[in-house]
Amino acid sequence: MNNKKIYLFISIVLLSGLLSKTVFSEEVYLETRKAEIAKIPVTVVIAGDDQELKSAVRAILINDLERSLYFNLITINGIRLNGVPDRVNESMRAQLSSSGVEALVVAQVVRDRDKIRLEGRLYETGSGELIYSKKYAGNNNILRRIVHRFSDEIVFRMSGEKGIAQTRIAYVSDQTGRKELYIMDYDGYSPKMITGNRSINISPDWSPDGARISYTSYRDGNPDIYMVDLNTSRRSRLTDYSGLDISTSWSPDGRTIAFSTSRDGNAEIYTMDREGKNLKRITFATGEDVSPTWSPAGGEIAFTSDRGRSPQVYVMKADGTNARRLTFKGDYNSDPAWSPRGDRIAFACRRGGGFRICLINTDGSDLREITNGPGSDESPSWSPDGKWVVFASTRAGKSGIYVINADGGELIKLTGNVGNNQGPDWSPN
Amino acid sequence: MKKLLFIVVLIFSVTGCAMQSEFVDLENEVNRMKVILLQTQRDVSTLQSKGDETAESDIQERFSKIESQSAGTIDMLQKNQADFEGRLTQLATDVQIIQGGVEENTHRLTELTESSDDHSAAIQEITRRLDNLETGKGGGNVQQDSTLIPAPPVTQAGQPPAQSNTARPSDSSMAAAAPSDLYNQAYKDYMAGNYDPAIEGFYNYLRQLPTGNLAPNALYWIGECYYSKGDYTRSVTVFESVTIDYPKSDKVSGALLKMGYGYEKLRNNDMARLYFKKVAEQFPYSQEASLAKVRLTEIK
């Protein structure tokens, strides 16, 4: 054997490998990733005498089931039910099975003056057996909430995962002329103002238990961090430094809040407890460090920094050690949001004149753009099931709140008001 | 890296001197103003005690003269200050540009080292097979070799199997994953908070490529995993190995700092202080030094 020849051959292979790697590392993947999991074929039947109520319930339920991304809704004509049976009769079962339907959802709805009663049932069409049944009741004005609850139950029974139909989205809107905080349902319905101080209120962030929202407000003349308890509506001010305190992020255990402050000249990231005490500075860079977001495991914080001149996304330990840059493509990457599963980070990436929503793996691989304009797309936040990203976009002129599938499909506009709507943050479920 | 650091330090020290002299100028100017003010106050009180009304116009004249004089001086002071701020901003920008350049180069280097790690692993494997062919001239040895099993990782915290020559990669593990894949998977596990598989993965990487370019990082992450698990004793030992086995790695400042944190958690404040001081002295311009200084002021 001639070792020299072999080594020469290996060297050539090596070199070509290195070169090709260098060339291809510049490539950016733009294609969208399609949902890999096969959807469960489901049919929905709404029973009852009140046609208006029936169609309202049908619309909400079908929308919820579709947005869970677990189901493929199949319409079958001619299925009639008088009340809710204990099991699906044989002829109906055969009809459903032959259409490939694996589960039947039945909701019987009754209006009793200003009260609504909904009896929800879920059947498996293979055996015809009832696998879930529950009665819901409430005032007319919580109809949507009742149906969302039923939908989440169906999702849980069929997939084992928590549904997102009862989640909400906090955001900033200037529809009254002032920037106030609002909360709406995940599907854009039932918006409700939660500040109303006729000042400027921005960057809401949900606590991990969904009971509180931290935000920045100018209500006392200076941008400070406040917290509102959604159960009691009690507000408290967490910081009162004369400079700028902004962009809060709750740690997953709900004990610590990371935020950005100008108290050291330029913006640095600090952590504090939820009473606003025990302040700890964790970044010390030349440049602005803003927009912290915690990893779901709680060990790391991603943030935006211009320590390397152009704003980029960095990752560090939650104690400030071992900061390292995550994004290298593009001259402006900001607003990181850590996915609930911990494997990806969404952020706003500048392309040309506007921003897009980009996703990247936490090891810096697999950069993808999931929106493509027009206008500018900013402030991404993940749905708690990790399947959707909510963001603010100027694609239709004024800034509105949109959701998009995390694989880049199914863009839906949530806000329909006349104002500018920004800075969305999705609640936990 | 070092050159750049040297340049940054040089810029700092040169401009630092310039700033010093500016400060001295400013101080002198302020002192001169103080003297003028004192003189004026003294004049006023003398004149007042005399009660001489005829001197009033004289006083006013002198006041307006002083006012115009001091206005000029204040203008100059403000201009100096503005110049000074401008230069400081420029300096900060320069530092950021350099920092950005360093980050991008390090990133490219990491990408290259990852692939060169994979290639050296492939070469190792090919060489080993060639040796087998040349010496054994048969499949028996290959068969025997492939039964080698890597040593268990967890028992050897702090003494990375990386340094041991006895642990050699088996055929199956080599075929299963390139070192960079092993490393990346372990890093993903670490990020997801799955510390035990992460520790195992990083040790596997170290076993495959004891002198790999990412070896110091792998060992550092093992330390971080133990730290995150709350096993501070092991984390301190592993971080110490980083500083001993890879003294030139850029992970050393972080490892020293984390040793300090670890000792603080273990309620050994003397040792904690020792390591915080080490970071501040050996890496005075690093983020880690800033964090260490905070701990030094807060630790009791």
Contacting residues of A for B134, CB less than 8 Å apart: 1
pLDDT > 90 in chain A, percent: 76
**Rounded CA gap, A385 and A152, in Å?**
12
Q: Which of B107, B112, B258 sits opposite A325 (nearest CB)?
A: B107
Give the model's pLDDT for residue B91: 84
Confidence of residue B122 (pLDDT cuts 50, 70, 90): confident
**Rounded CA gap, A273 and A262, in Å?**
18
Q: Which of A14, A309, A343 sits opposite B100 (nearest CB)?
A: A309
Q: Do A320 and B287 touch (CB under 8 A)?
A: yes
- Cβ–Cβ contact B81 with A under 8 A: no
**Rounded CA gap, B243 and B262, in Å?**
15
Q: Which of B191, B254, B258 sits opposite A342 (nearest CB)?
A: B191
Residues B180-206: tens digit of each pLDDT: 889 999 998 998 889 999 999 999 999
Does pLDDT of B19 surpass 70?
no
Residues A121-131: tens digit of each pLDDT: 999 998 889 99
**Rounded CA gap, B2 and B92, in Å?**
19
Nearest CA in chain A to B134: A1
Task: Give me the residues of B, 218-277, that contact A with CB < 8 A.
Answer: 220, 224, 228, 254, 257-258, 261
Give the model's pLDDT for residue B173: 42
Contacting residues of A for B228, CB less than 8 Å apart: 299
Burial of A210 (0-12, 13-18, 19+ CB in 10 A): middle
First-last CA distance in chain A: 66
Chain A nearest C-alpha distance from B81 (Å): 17
Chain B nearest C-alpha distance from A342 (Å): 6
Chain B nearest C-alpha distance from A348 (Å): 19
Contacting residues of A for B239, CB less than 8 Å apart: none
Q: Do A3 and B130 touch (CB under 8 A)?
A: yes
Residues A146-158: tens digit of each pLDDT: 999 999 999 999 9
Chain B nearest C-alpha distance from A314 (Å): 11
pLDDT > 90 in chain B, percent: 32
Q: Do B193 and A317 touch (CB under 8 A)?
A: no
Residues A86-142: tens digit of each pLDDT: 888 888 888 898 889 999 999 999 998 889 999 999 999 988 899 999 999 999 999
Residues B220-262: tens digit of each pLDDT: 999 999 999 999 999 999 999 999 999 999 899 999 999 999 9
Q: Do A320 and B291 touch (CB under 8 A)?
A: yes
- Cβ–Cβ contact A25 with B under 8 A: yes
Residue with tokens 């291809």: A24
Chain B nearest C-alpha distance from A311 (Å): 10
Instruction: Indicate whether this model's pTM tops 0.80.
Output: no
Does pLDDT of B137 surpass 70?
no
Among A155-159, B163-167, B169-173, B187-191, the range of highest mean pLDDT: A155-159
- Cβ–Cβ contact A299 with B under 8 A: yes
Q: Do A18 and B134 touch (CB under 8 A)?
A: no
Contacting residues of A for B102, CB less than 8 Å apart: 308
Q: Are B122 and A17 in contact (CB under 8 A)?
A: no
Q: Are A299 and A317 in contact (CB under 8 A)?
A: yes
pLDDT in tens, chain A (429 residues): 455 555 555 554 444 444 443 333 333 333 334 445 689 999 999 998 899 999 999 999 999 999 999 999 998 877 777 667 788 888 888 889 888 999 999 999 999 888 999 999 999 998 889 999 999 999 999 999 999 999 999 999 999 999 999 999 999 999 999 999 999 999 999 999 999 888 999 999 999 999 999 999 999 889 999 999 999 999 999 999 888 999 999 999 999 999 999 988 889 999 999 999 999 999 998 889 999 999 999 999 999 999 999 999 999 999 999 999 999 999 999 999 999 999 999 999 999 889 999 999 999 999 999 999 899 999 999 999 999 999 999 999 999 999 999 999 899 999 998 899 999 999 999
Q: Do A322 and B224 touch (CB under 8 A)?
A: yes
Give the model's pLDDT for residue A353: 86
**Rounded CA gap, A131 and A116, in Å?**
23
* A-B contacts (CB, under 8 Å): 103
Least confident window among A55-64, A370-379, B18-27, B141-150: B141-150
Residues in chain B: 300
Q: Do B193 and A299 touch (CB under 8 A)?
A: yes
Q: Do A321 and B97 touch (CB under 8 A)?
A: no
Give the model's pLDDT for residue B15: 44
Residues A380-390: tens digit of each pLDDT: 999 999 999 99
Q: Are B171 and B147 in contact (CB under 8 A)?
A: no
Give the model's pLDDT for residue B9: 43
Chain A nearest C-alpha distance from B155 (Å): 24
Task: Decide: helix, strand or coil at residue B172.
Answer: helix
Give the model's pLDDT for residue B20: 56
Identify the CA nearest to B115 among candidates B209, B250, B221.
B209
Give the model's pLDDT for residue B55: 60
Task: Decide: helix, strand or coil at residue B279.
Answer: helix
Nearest CA in chain A to B100: A308
Residue with tokens 């290639």: B119
Confidence of residue B288 (pLDDT cuts 50, 70, 90): very high
**Rounded CA gap, A320 and A281, in Å?**
8
